[in-house]
Structure 1
Amino acid sequence: MKLKQKKVPKPWGQLSLPQIFGGKQKEKIGEIWFTPEKGITPTLLVKYIFTGEKLSIQVHPNDRQARRQGFPRGKDECWYIVDAEPGAVLGIGLTKEVSATKLHAAVVCDQIEQLVEWKPVKRGDLYYIPAGTIHAIGPGIQLIEVQQNVDITYRLYDYGRPRELHLDDAISIATTAPYNMKNHLEAVPDQSVKLLDGPHFRLFQVIADDHDMLRDTIAGEWHAIPLEGEVTVRGKVIRAGECGLCAKASDIDLSANIKSLIACSMK
């Protein structure tokens, strides 16, 4: 099926989106979610993110921690950089390992930005963000996020914006150490590659009709996200800026594909 677009206003979003999303907007749009019309709750959520300002510094719980709070699952996610302005950065992990007490002090003393590791990014970068990773997205970035489908975020710091913070919850689950760069990959633009092989989902960059990349993966659901060209999912044409959902890799026709991301949830 073709999933519907849901535009989500954010104070850090952008007034001008790519033409495939309508160009100029009446309010700042930060995210575009792809969701079913009704009756289905996918295990994964795919979204585009557009940043005009820094996002909050935040962290997500893992499955066990989230279920203690009444949620069905935790939140691992990954970011595929579609475009980035010169000098754009992501905040991922810390510059050094610290205690929970020192992390708390950095937040209340407005020094958390200096403790976060800010990494330069470019088109084609892939970052896997396991639950517990302290993270933020800087301005001037367009990315595709694939995540476990749950809305649970603990904010550590929000640059003075009038939004709720969750300091105690965030510190109790945060990994207070540098980011493991084994979770970063630079995708070769014209090659099919498995970008991520995580415990909850996988992500592939598929060039042309290279269906062999997908054949040996047993998954619960598949999301097709064209970047160039188009794919067909159970008879529905899915173009750049859209997302299709199906139950089997064989339901995805790549004959008109140029470059797509294909995500699947692990059973």
Structure 2
Amino acid sequence: MRLLGTKIVEKPWGKDVLPPQFDVPEDKRIGEVWFEPPPEMPDILVKYIFTSEKLSVQVHPDNAQAKALGESDQGKEECWLVIDAEPGAVLGIGFKQAVDAETMRRAALDGSIEALMEWHPVKAGDFFYIPAGTVHAIGAGVSLIEIQQNSDITYRLFDYGRPRELHLDNGLKVARGEPYAGYLHRHIEDHSAVTLVDGPYFKAAIIVGAAIGTDVSDVAGPKLVLPLEGVVTIDGAALQAGECGLADGAQSVSATKDARWILISAA
């Protein structure tokens, strides 16, 4: 087992109080905790995100669009598992109704894009898959786990007047002006073992206890193990919440009965 290194990222919109498994530097606002992708799985990034303010309205390209725009050969699809949410917390994903590119541009410039978007009330256990091209924003008071293609290409469409660059030209080339598909969102009940993603870029499943019960666990090759509760062991080495470990195809993975954990593999 290899324990992945972590990167603690300060953000002005982050939180100064995180779950107890994370050490927060004094007088720091932490917005993200990244697990550094290992060489065996370089194309997948796993992180925690913590918000005290709204994040920008943004969009990511897919692989073909990223390459066509001269960025890289890898775009960004992602998914979110909400682990905590304050009362009234929301995620903005997609639009209430179809909008064309010119309408989206005007709305991004005057700030009315927020009113055009669909804002989903959230609670712990809500899961969303975010295809490339989906216009989205994470609201305040949300803590979530993000599993994504390892890409930092983000096109900001609106940022509430913050002094950061917008990327309207490229963003509008890739943004889908459409409602978010309902089948991409579901609520995961506590202590449910379920496949979260079986997609073109990565696979992920929630495992409960030592029982696997999902096809994704049978995928050969390296896997990331992310405990949510309890203790998970890889060849006898223990992992706890707040950590992420790499298991190669030959290593055994087991867990305590009270464990709840995410298993992530390449597609």
Query: Same fold, TM exceeding 0.5?
Result: yes
Q: Which runs of 4+ in 1 moved over 3 A?
A: 38-41, 214-217
Paired residues, number: 265
Query: What whole-Å deviation, never above 9, does each CA across 1:55-98 have from its counterpart, x for those lacking one?
Result: 00000000111123241311100000001111100000011101
- Conserved 8 A contact 1:231-1:257: no
Q: Write the deviation string for residues 93-117 of structure 1: whole angstroms up to 9, x where unpaired.
A: 0111011011001111221111111
CA contact (8 A) 1:2 1:236 kept: no
Partner of 1:65: 65
Shift of 1:236: 3.1
Provide TM-score, normalisation by structure 1: 0.93
Equivalent residue runs for 1:131-170 within 5 Å = 131-170=132-171
User: Does the 8 A contact of 2:230 with 2:258 survive in 1?
Assistant: yes
Is 1:129 the counterpart of 2:130? The answer is: yes
Q: 1:133 to 1:25 in 2, by over 3 A?
A: farther
- 2:42 is aligned to 42
Name the CA shift for 1:192/1:101 in 2 (closer, same or farther; >3 Å): same
- 1:10-25 matches, within 5 Å, as 10-23=11-24, 25=26
Report the CA distance between 1:246 and its aligned residue.
Answer: 2.6
**Map of 1:104 onto structure 2:** 105
How far apart, CA to CA, are the structure 2 residues paired with 1:225 and 1:216? 13
- SS where residue 259 of structure 2 aligns? strand
The Cα RMSD (Å) is 1.9
Aligned residue type for 2:121: P
- Tell me which moved more, 152-161 or 70-79: 70-79
User: Aligned ranges for residues 1-267 of structure 1 at < 5 Å?
Assistant: 1-23=2-24, 25-35=26-36, 42-68=42-68, 69-214=70-215, 217-218=218-219, 221-248=222-249, 251-255=252-256, 258-266=259-267
SS in 2 for 1:16: coil
SS for the counterpart of 2:16 is strand
2:28 alignment partner, SS class: strand
Q: Give structure 2 stretches of 5+ with no counterpart.
A: none
Shift of 1:188: 1.7
The structure with the greater share of residues assigned to strand is 1
TM-score (norm 2): 0.93
CA contact (8 A) 1:226 1:257 kept: no
